[in-house]
Structure 1
Amino acid sequence: MRLVYVAMTCKAAKPVTDPEVVNSALRWADHEHGALEHARIHMSRTGACAVLFINSRAPADAQDYCRKLVIQALDGEPALAGWSLSECTPLPSL
């Protein structure tokens, strides 16, 4: 299990404030691989930050997967139009 910190920024005039919108988009994007175990999401006026729990052996693989996952989730959810991935950093193992 690997933890990856991601930050997403919103340039829309009225940002999404419900973390379930982001969570659902991430789950949809992960439906083929099933590597996303859990997502802890914090919303703000300028976007969201999250820690994603990824089923992966290598930190670099988890980071690469998270980049692709978040970009696909943002592209696939109309409510998140105008959002972008601004950071994707693996966290140290516990």
Structure 2
Amino acid sequence: MKIKGIGTISKKEAMSILTREGREAVKNGDITTQELGEMYKLEQVKRACKIGTCGDTFRTCYNRIPESLKEDLAPAQLGLLVDSFYNCYSDAKNGKTD
């Protein structure tokens, strides 16, 4: 399967991020291959950034990225953006100015 910003990966590799229930949902057609690709890419972004394990904080920062960039950029680039948004927030909160 082809994922923008990543390239071509096997469906098996993409499904490796899912639980047993998730794999069943793909097999049953409840999750499309496009949705699977988006989920896989999001997981790669989480792994590429410092705050990927911080659920709410990650989602807040990730949601600031325009959809067109989410689609086109590589996970490492998206991870840098997420971390940058987090750093901006932290700096402002702590009164840092450069």
TM range (shorter): 0.3 to 0.5
Give the structure, 1 or 2, with the largest relative contact order (CA under 8 Å, sep 6 or more). 1
Larger Rg: 2
Q: Which has the higher helix share?
A: 2
Between Structure 1 and Structure 2, the one with more strand by share is 1
TM superposition score normalised by structure 2: 0.32
